[in-house]
Amino acid sequence: MEVIIKRDAQEVSLEAAAIFRRQLQEKPDSVLGLATGSTPVALYRRLVAMTQEGDLDLSHATTFNLDEYVGLPGSHPHGYAAFMRQNLFDHVKVARWWIPDGMTNDIPQHCAAYEQAITDAGGIDLQLLGLGSDGHIGFNEPGSSLGSRTRLKTLTMQTVAANAQYFASPAEVPRHVMTMGVGTILEARRCLVLAFGEGKAKAVAAMVEGPVTAMAPASALQMHAVCTLIVDEAAASLLQRKEYYRWIYENKPAWQRA
């Protein structure tokens, strides 16, 4: 796993945007896995700006979102379809985008179809991930199978509380989601994880330097062939080998840099 430590969230997002740019330069019709929540907002703003400046072209790309709340229609202002339109899709053109349908009448069948759509698209080339403070990726809460596929999940009380900021009250936060599984995520050709803030420091340390365990689902990314984690100083504060990670990044050969 490559660990890149940047000064702040803005620098994290700039580094991530450069990785997206290189991916699309090398493969314009890339299949991109996208995330929601507060973590990727600055990155999406940068991708929009790069597109408007002519420095990025998403028009041939296909995207798949990690997850969606069950029971929220695509038009709901707090659903992830609305989030993606507001932060990206209303501002840039993509060839096609996929988000789980929170109003489906057959969740198991819909999840299986979502997996098949990813396969039919050729698999995900670059998967963007945020990191939950309890170590979850997507909505794969602690205890999730590390071989899991897209499926229904019940949110933990901690995640409901964290997501309450987007709703009028905690009572309005849906208790169920559909999410790509850990096994689905691990099949992406490259994973890109972003984390910033002191509140993510324990999760970052567990992901990078702890044991591989279902109690910290992000730790499964230690087994991924090409995973990049970009964090700010606060999120890196508990890493035991952070000076080593800095050394590796500073001495990367030019051809490996985004």
Q: Cβ distance 208 to 229 under 8 Å?
A: yes
Residue 8 within a domain: yes
User: Which position among 67, 68, 101, 115 bears the catalytic label?
Assistant: 67
Residue 242 within a domain: yes
Taking the C-alpha atoms of residue 31 and residue 126, their distance in angstroms, rounded to an integer, is 7
User: Which position among 15, 115, 136, 224 bears the catalytic label?
Assistant: 136
Residue 83 within a domain: yes
Segment 168-198, tens digit of pLDDT: 888 889 999 999 999 999 999 999 999 999 9
User: Which position among 68, 134, 224, 232 bears the catalytic label?
Assistant: 134
Q: Which residues of 54-77 are buried (b: 16+ CB within 10 A; e: fewer)?
A: eebebeebbbbbbbbbbebebebe
The count of C-alpha atoms lying within 13 angstroms of the C-alpha of 210, restricted to the half-sphere facing its C-beta, is 18
Indicate if 172 belongs to the active site.
Answer: no
Residue 257 within a domain: no
Taking the C-alpha atoms of residue 139 and residue 155, their distance in angstroms, rounded to an integer, is 7
- pLDDT score for 118: 98
What's the domain count of the chain? Answer: 1
Residue 119 within a domain: yes
Alpha carbon distances (Å) from 134 to 64, 70, 228: 24, 22, 19
- pLDDT score for 14: 97
Indicate if 141 belongs to the active site.
Answer: yes
Backbone φ, ψ for residue 121 (5° rounding): -80, -5
- pLDDT score for 6: 98
Q: Which residues of 136-152 are buried (b: 16+ CB within 10 A; e: fewer)?
A: bbbbbbbebebebbbbe
Give the global pTM: 0.95
Segment 64-91, tens digit of pLDDT: 999 999 999 989 998 999 999 999 999 9
Low-confidence ranges of the chain (pLDDT < 70): none
Backbone φ, ψ for residue 114 (5° rounding): -65, -45
Domain boundaries, position 198: 2-223+230-251
Indicate if 134 belongs to the active site.
Answer: yes
Q: Cβ distance 216 to 203 under 8 Å?
A: yes
Residue 256 within a domain: no
Segment 47-66, tens digit of pLDDT: 999 999 999 999 999 999 99
Sign, CA torsion 216/7/34/228: negative
Residue 258 within a domain: no
